[in-house]
Amino acid sequence: MLGVLRRKVACKANAASALEQGIRVVASRAFSSSGKEMTVRDALNSALDEEMSADPKVFIMGEEVGEYQGAYKISKGLLDKYGPERVVDTPITEAGFAGIGVGAAYYGLRPVIEFMTFNFSMQAIDHIINSAAKSNYMSAGQISVPIVFRGPNGAAAGVGAQHSQCYAAWYGSCPGLKVLAPYSSEDARGLLKAAIRDPDPVVFLENELLYGESFPVSAEVLDSSFCLPIGKAKIEREGKDVTITAFSKMVGYALQAAEILAKDGISAEVINLRSIRPLDRSTINASVRKTNRLVTVEEGFPQHGVGAEICASVLEDSFEYLDAAVERIAGADVPMPYAANLERMAVPQVDDIVRAAKRACYRSSSLAATA
Amino acid sequence: MAQLTQRAATFQRTLSAAAVSSTRCLSTASTSPITVETSLPFTGHKIDPPSRSVETTPQELLSFFRDMALMRRMEIAADSLYKAKLIRGFCHLYDGQEAVAVGMEAAITRKDCIITAYRDHCIFLGRGGTLLESFSELMGRKDGCSKGKGGSMHFYKKEGGFYGGHGIVGAQVPLGCGLAFAQKYSKDENVTFAMYGDGAANQGQLFEALNMAALWDLPAILVCENNHYGMGTAEWRAAKSPAYYKRGDYVPGLKVDGMDALAVKQACKFAKSMPSRMDQLFSKWTPTGIMDTLCLILEAPIVRVMRLVVSD
């Protein structure tokens, strides 16, 4: 099933219009009011379109965002609609254009800076942290920086060590930044709109493998005023035996794991974090106080990861509610290998999450710590 | 008694003479234009430099003196406070470079933007900051311009067009080009002066930003204050080419005497007028891109001297 999923999300939609391909009416749903589905790509595209339409100060800047229609087609059609002053193709100079974006935000514009992947954001990280994140505080509120840095984060498929790192933990540790990680199309639309409207710098971590995936969207989500709150997690699936926290692509894996666990009589509650910073500690802790067991899932490196922070938070706030040690599932502590079989082993799989949940519920016979 | 009266009378005469001469002093605050030649010529790179004759007024010259003397005294006082450990961390002083800040202010308005690195105390004053805000910030008090949260390197005055105050060498140049981008985007008729030192002139992000500024015709003027040292390292040990005004290659440059406030004023006026000069210049030059950008690099070499007297 996972193999099918991988093949489906690997192909990029570029032939027909993205909107035509994206919205498919699912006629078989008897009771839903709209029954529409939308790919994450279209969700992001429509969010950008609507926010640019609503506020002339919003502009997009990055490599290939204009004439190429976006490296992953996220900004497709926007150059034609808004013109080259508002959809700006840049040379391959991340430090330069990230700095230019931050400077424009100082002046009062609302830039959306695209990094082709967040691996390249490291070239610009000084501007993200020192020029953007810290300015509001250092200037005692004089300089606000309403900028969004967005792009794909984490592992793709076969792109190797330098193109596969997850930056959620790095950016999530920095005061002055907001860090968001959408999973579904609803998340993508609502959180991107919230990010663009936010007066502070937002790091928006997408996932390349999710761009082509379709999710149901309600009429409320499709409305141009739709917005999700920053700092609130979503309980994707309610449960009572173990809490599984995840973000981005791992939410899908966690949901699949929950299905498998249900067959074994374990009712898992899956929390889609949505917001890495601020972290929704109250939702996480309330869930752990209910289930008494916690599994954290992330794709990134284990040390100093998002799971480590969640674990610490739960220990600080809900220690006496824990009936088992917290289980951390993360990527392998190794630069991402290229070979497909090694890559599969370096990234968490559904089985890993199932095993961890069983360990937390004392259902596992093996005592060895596996990734 | 007679002696006393005589002395009183002399004193009175002296006073009235002083009153007369003081009215004569007041006349030096007149606004009648005078023309002064800059002490050194300008040197242009891919551009014809402006004239050495600068228009000014006695009032302006007096304000130059007052402002530069104030800046000098502020920096010397900051130096003493730093040595007394009342200012903590870093304290980068601008004494010796006052002519650049003052000359620039004379040529521009508060709607033009200035951004600089961490040697920002005097630029802040020039943009309308007060001594109280400045010293309070240096000493970490809540009346400081950044409420004590920024420190020496993070002075800002947004309503005066001053965007800081940046601690990372070179970062302010892309930020300044971003301000220029926003000015062009908003169709404001103003420009941005992005200031940096000879140390920052070797930064890669400067060239990245300059490339984009030239490509997109942004109203950005890069001002290199060359005091011949990058932190503790002398220029000759850090830069293969110390001709910073030429480093822009396809971007025109101008070398200006940084010790001469009037020369700096002339250069900044010239730089600011560049957008409106574009049409004239295009008609003169063939379109081979010699002068096809709004950007300009101003290099202002500063002589490090330990004199306390402000040179005219």
User: pLDDT at position A328, please?
Assistant: 97
pLDDT, mean of residues A179-197? 98
- Using the predicted structure, report yes or no on whether residue A12 has a pLDDT greater than 70: no
Q: Which of B115, B203, B212 to mutate to test the interface with A (most CBs of A within 10 A)?
A: B212
- Using the predicted structure, report yes or no on whether residue B19 has a pLDDT greater than 50: no
User: pLDDT at position A28, please?
Assistant: 43
Pairwise CB contact (< 8 Å): B182 & A109: yes
- Using the predicted structure, report yes or no on whether residue B73 has a pLDDT greater than 60: yes
Q: How confident is the model at residue B25 (pLDDT cuts 50, 70, 90)?
A: very low
- Using the predicted structure, report yes or no on whether residue B22 has a pLDDT greater than 50: no
DSSP assignment letter at B150: S
Which of B165-183 are b and which e, b meaning 16 or more Cβ less than 10 Å from the residue's Cβ? bbbbbbbbbbbbbbbbbbb
Q: Does B111 contact A at CB distance below 8 Å?
A: no
Pairwise CB contact (< 8 Å): B146 & A126: no
Who among A85, A91, A131 is closest to B212 (CB)?
A: A91
Q: Does B291 contact A at CB distance below 8 Å?
A: no
Structure ipTM: 0.88
Q: Tens of pLDDT along B29-72?
A: 688 999 999 988 999 999 999 999 999 999 999 999 999 999 99
- Using the predicted structure, report yes or no on whether residue B4 has a pLDDT greater than 80: no
The pLDDT mean for chain B works out to: 85
Q: Which residues of A touch B156 (CB under 8 A)?
A: 139, 142-143
Give the number of beta-carbon pairs within 8 Å between A and B. Answer: 121
Domain A2-31+232-370, CATH class in plain words: alpha beta
User: pLDDT at position B246, please?
Assistant: 92
Q: Does B147 contact A at CB distance below 8 Å?
A: yes
Q: How confident is the model at residue A370 (pLDDT cuts 50, 70, 90)?
A: low
Instruction: Pick the residue from chain A with its C-alpha nearest to B142.
Output: A140
pLDDT, mean of residues A244-250? 98
Q: Which residues of A touch B179 (CB under 8 A)?
A: 103-104, 106-107
pLDDT, mean of residues B302-310? 41
Pairwise CB contact (< 8 Å): B156 & A143: yes
- Using the predicted structure, report yes or no on whether residue B21 has a pLDDT greater than 60: no
Q: Please state, in angstroms and rounded to a whole number, the distance separating the CA atoms of residues A24 and B199.
A: 58
A27-36, A105-114, A121-130, A255-264: segment of lowest average pLDDT:
A27-36
Q: Please state, in angstroms and rounded to a whole number, the distance separating the CA atoms of residues B238 and B247.
A: 14
pLDDT, mean of residues B189-215? 94
Helices (H), chain B: 2-26, 58-83, 98-107, 121-126, 131-138, 172-185, 204-215, 235-238, 261-272, 274-284
Q: Does A55 contact B at CB distance below 8 Å?
A: no
Q: Tens of pLDDT along A34-73?
A: 589 999 999 999 999 999 999 999 999 999 999 999 999 9
Pairwise CB contact (< 8 Å): B168 & A137: no
- Using the predicted structure, report yes or no on whether residue B109 has a pLDDT greater than 50: yes
- Using the predicted structure, report yes or no on whether residue B2 has a pLDDT greater than 90: no
Enumerate residues 228 to 267 of chain B having a beta carbon within 8 A of any beta carbon in chain A: none
- Using the predicted structure, report yes or no on whether residue A29 has a pLDDT greater than 90: no
Q: Which residues of A touch B171 (CB under 8 A)?
A: 99, 126-127, 130-131
Angle between helices B261-272 and B98-107 (to 10 degrees): 40
Question: How far is A63 from chain B, CA to nearest CA, in Å?
Answer: 13
Tell me which CATH code domain A38-222 carries. Answer: 3.40.50.970
User: pLDDT at position B31, please?
Assistant: 87
**Within 10 A of A265 (CB to CB), how many other CB atoms are there?**
9
User: pLDDT at position A47, please?
Assistant: 98
Q: How confident is the model at residue A164 (pLDDT cuts 50, 70, 90)?
A: very high
Could you give the count of Cα atoms lying within 13 Å of B123 in the half-sphere of its Cβ? 32
- Using the predicted structure, report yes or no on whether residue B220 has a pLDDT greater than 50: yes
Pairwise CB contact (< 8 Å): A109 & B186: yes
Who among A102, A137, A142 is closest to B178 (CB)?
A: A102
Q: Does B177 contact A at CB distance below 8 Å?
A: yes
Q: Which two tokens stand for residue B52?
A: 């050495």
Q: How confident is the model at residue B10 (pLDDT cuts 50, 70, 90)?
A: low
pLDDT, mean of residues A187-194? 98
Q: Which of A60, A142, A144, A145 to mutate to test the interface with B (most CBs of B within 10 A)?
A: A142
Q: Please state, in angstroms and rounded to a whole number, the distance separating the CA atoms of residues A361 and A134.
A: 42
Q: Are the beta carbons of A285 and A314 closer than 8 angstroms?
A: yes
Q: Which of A60, A90, A102, A139 to mutate to test the interface with B (most CBs of B within 10 A)?
A: A139
User: pLDDT at position B30, please?
Assistant: 84
Q: Has A94 been annotated as catalytic?
A: yes
Q: Are the beta carbons of B40 and B54 closer than 8 angstroms?
A: no
Q: Does A62 contact B at CB distance below 8 Å?
A: no
pLDDT, mean of residues B189-203? 94
pLDDT, mean of residues B231-250? 91
Q: What is the CA radius of gyration of chain A?
A: 20
Pairwise CB contact (< 8 Å): B208 & A109: no
User: pLDDT at position B273, please?
Assistant: 87
pLDDT, mean of residues A133-146? 97
User: pLDDT at position B28, please?
Assistant: 59
Q: Please state, in angstroms and rounded to a whole number, the distance separating the CA atoms of residues A306 and A326.
A: 13
A206 - beta bridge partners? A152
User: pLDDT at position B91, please?
Assistant: 95
Pairing between strand A294-297 and A242-246? Answer: parallel
User: pLDDT at position B144, please?
Assistant: 97
pLDDT, mean of residues A130-140? 98
Who among A97, A131, A142 is closest to B212 (CB)?
A: A97
Pairwise CB contact (< 8 Å): A139 & B154: yes
**Within 10 A of B133 (CB to CB), how many other CB atoms are there?**
20
B225 - beta bridge partners? B197, B300
Q: Are the beta carbons of B133 and B145 closer than 8 angstroms?
A: yes
Q: Which residues of A touch B166 (CB under 8 A)?
A: 130-131
pLDDT, mean of residues A304-321? 97
- Using the predicted structure, report yes or no on whether residue B227 has a pLDDT greater than 80: yes
Q: Which residues of B touch A127 (CB under 8 A)?
A: 171, 174-175
Please indicate whether residue B54 or residue A27 has the higher confidence score (pLDDT). Answer: B54
A169-173, A207-211, B71-75, B295-299: segment of lowest average pLDDT:
B295-299
Q: Please state, in angstroms and rounded to a whole number, the distance separating the CA atoms of residues B312 and B298.
A: 21
Instruction: Give CATH 3.40.50.970 domain extents, chain A.
Output: 38-222
A291-300, B120-129, B286-295: segment of lowest average pLDDT:
B286-295
Q: Which residues of A touch B149 (CB under 8 A)?
A: 137-138, 140
User: pLDDT at position B79, please?
Assistant: 95
- Name the percent of chain A lying above pLDDT 70: 89
Would you put residue B148 in left (φ > 0), alpha (ψ -120 to 50) or beta? left
Pairwise CB contact (< 8 Å): B178 & A143: no
CA dihedral B32, B33, B37, B42 (to 10 degrees): 140
- Using the predicted structure, report yes or no on whether residue B12 has a pLDDT greater than 80: no
Pairwise CB contact (< 8 Å): B179 & A106: yes
Q: Are the beta carbons of A155 and A331 closer than 8 angstroms?
A: yes
CA dihedral B149, B167, A167, B202 (to 10 degrees): 170
Active-site entry in A37, A50, A63, A94: A94
User: pLDDT at position A115, please?
Assistant: 98
Q: Which of B169, B175, B206 to mutate to test the interface with A (most CBs of A within 10 A)?
A: B175
Q: Please state, in angstroms and rounded to a whole number, the distance separating the CA atoms of residues B146 and A137.
A: 9
Q: Does B78 contact A at CB distance below 8 Å?
A: no
- Using the predicted structure, report yes or no on whether residue B305 has a pLDDT greater than 50: no
Q: Please state, in angstroms and rounded to a whole number, the distance separating the CA atoms of residues B59 and B72.
A: 20
Q: Which two tokens stand for residue A174?
A: 């920095």
Q: Which two tokens stand for residue A287?
A: 């869930």
Could you give the count of Cα atoms lying within 13 Å of B267 in the half-sphere of its Cβ? 37
Q: Does A120 contact B at CB distance below 8 Å?
A: no
Q: DSSP letter string over A300-311?
A: S-STT-HHHHHH
A61 - beta bridge partners? A88, A113
Instruction: Give CATH 3.40.50.920 domain extents, chain A.
Output: 2-31+232-370
Q: Please state, in angstroms and rounded to a whole number, the distance separating the CA atoms of residues A44 and A191.
A: 9
- Name the percent of chain A lying above pLDDT 90: 88
Q: Has A304 been annotated as catalytic?
A: no
Helices (H), chain A: 2-10, 18-22, 40-54, 78-82, 94-107, 125-126, 135-138, 168-172, 185-197, 219-222, 249-263, 281-291, 306-318, 340-346, 350-360
- Using the predicted structure, report yes or no on whether residue B16 has a pLDDT greater than 60: no
Pairwise CB contact (< 8 Å): B212 & A104: no
User: pLDDT at position B7, please?
Assistant: 63
Q: Does B115 contact A at CB distance below 8 Å?
A: yes
Question: How far is A323 from chain B, CA to nearest CA, in Å?
Answer: 44
Q: Tens of pLDDT along A198-222?
A: 999 999 999 999 999 999 999 999 9
User: pLDDT at position B298, please?
Assistant: 72
Q: Which two tokens stand for residue A55?
A: 């506020």
